[in-house]
Amino acid sequence: MARTNSFTDFLKMLYPDSNIPSYLYRFSEQKIVYTEPEQSALTYPPAKYLSRLAKRPGAIGHIAYLSTEYGSYFGCVSADTDPDILLVFGPVTLTPYSDSEFHQMYIDYVVPQGSRGEFSEFFQRVPQFSLNSFLVKLSFINYCLNGEMLSAQELLPRQNIQADRAADKLYEKKSDSVHNHSHEIESVIHEIIRTGKPEALAQLEFNESFANVGIIGPTALRQIKNTIIVITTVATRAAIDGGLDTDAAYQLSDSFIQTAESLSDPDALYELMGRVAYTFAERVKEAQMPVSTDGMIQNAIRFIQQNVCEHITAKDVAEHTGFSRSYFSTYFKKELGFSVNAFIMRCKMEEAKQLLKYTDRSVSVISSYLCFSSQSHFQTAFKKQFGVTPLQYRKDPDCLENR
């Protein structure tokens, strides 16, 4: 207890100087046990970030950090005096959050409609730091806790020179002898992902020859990473065209790109390259969203997917497309075989599955976030859609495959 008190005292003294939100995370309890400043659990770092920091991939000494898709940084410092404790700091951001970034954060943090004002107000007070300035702060905290001298430069990603040289052996072609066939690659991958056919990728070999999009990097390692970024960008656009939620697609994109940047082994990068298109195609297939060439239907589908956490009705969708409710509802059902309201519910249920599987938010919070009138209504709708309760699904996400 004395140790815990010393850490809380440290955070209390540190916060007035830095204004960086600070958290005391205890591994044995797998939860945050103290915060500075005092705040609602709604603004705690999402579980996926805490998990990544706790695993500390790429950590230097006692320090680890990560970035989010909306430009925030989180960092952590472990302490030799208590291995069960992790001090977590952040988020910090280089520029004030925009409305679109707040929209991404509402999804990331699973913020109910009625709590978004309080949530936004908290994060508008988050200090603005560059990554280098943030790492300087973490280095100072680390020195205070562990007496370890690390500079911000030592914490920044560095390219593995030996891996780079090994990769260069795979990269002997000159730029003037390489045929750039990125258009063919883009067309093939785009169509497979858009139609949600991961099995079709088995006929393709994602290797150096197939993924040769021309010289787009100064070294072999950088070439592979840039190729992954190109494929991820194409896959993201195709997945959105195929019906995957825009925010989900960009979060997946960010995950692949960050993973690529953290790797320095060519074999691991090629393995990752092969997973990008397949994962996006699989997610499109799992979403089971209708694909239509009709512009009005596509517009309506995208509007519903982007507002799945809002209270929307068939009337709202019809107004967005510029048609009367009766005409649009009839046309929508004729084209796709199910009603607008049924599709809205389907989208909410698919989002609920993702939240239950990948976050630790309670059923009541998820229910409120998806704008259900009550938790009971949400649970009834979920069981009607999938045949299991939300808690049964959270406990065993694979249970639906056996039904």
Report angle CA 171, 175, 181 to the nearest 5 degrees: 95
pTM for this entry:
0.53
DSSP state of 27: T
**Mean pLDDT to the nearest integer, 377-384:** 93
pLDDT at 12: 93
How high does pLDDT run on average in the chain?
81
331 shares its domain with 316: yes
**Residue bearing tokens 């300087």:** 136
203/193 Cα distance (integer angstroms): 14
**Mean pLDDT to the nearest integer, 299-315:** 88
pLDDT at 175: 39
272 shares its domain with 178: yes
70/104 Cα distance (integer angstroms): 7
392 shares its domain with 311: yes
Backbone angles phi, psi at 78, to 5 degrees: -90, 165
174 shares its domain with 48: no
Min mean pLDDT across 109-113, 132-136, 157-161, 399-403 is at 157-161
> At 62, is the secondary structure helix, strand, or coil?
coil
Min mean pLDDT across 3-7, 209-213, 259-263, 396-400 is at 209-213
pLDDT at 161: 37
Residue 239 is part of which domain span? 161-287
Min mean pLDDT across 46-50, 251-255, 282-286 is at 282-286
171/223 Cα distance (integer angstroms): 9
DSSP state of 41: G
273 shares its domain with 346: no
pLDDT at 184: 59
Q: With 70 as the cut, is the pLDDT of residue 322 above it?
A: yes
182 shares its domain with 168: yes
Sheet hosting strand 22-26, strand order edge to edge: 31-36, 22-26, 85-93, 72-78, 63-67
Number of structural domains in the chain: 3
State the Cα torsion 352-356-359-360 to the nearest 10°. Answer: 130
Last residue within a domain, chosen from 125, 155, 185? 155
Q: With 50 as the cut, is the pLDDT of residue 2 above it?
A: no
**Mean pLDDT to the nearest integer, 162-188:** 47
Percent of the chain's residues with pLDDT above 70? 82
Last residue within a domain, chosen from 254, 287, 320? 287
Q: With 90 as the cut, is the pLDDT of residue 284 above it?
A: no
Last residue within a domain, chosen from 251, 270, 287? 287
230/326 Cα distance (integer angstroms): 43
pLDDT: which is higher, 74 or 132: 74
Report angle CA 110, 116, 120 to the nearest 5 degrees: 105
20 shares its domain with 149: yes
Q: Does an H or E element contain 372, and which?
A: none
40 shares its domain with 141: yes
DSSP string, 66-134: EE-TTSEEEEEEE-TT-TTEEEEEEEEESSPPPHHHHHHHHHHHT--GGGHHHHHHHHHTSPB--HHHH
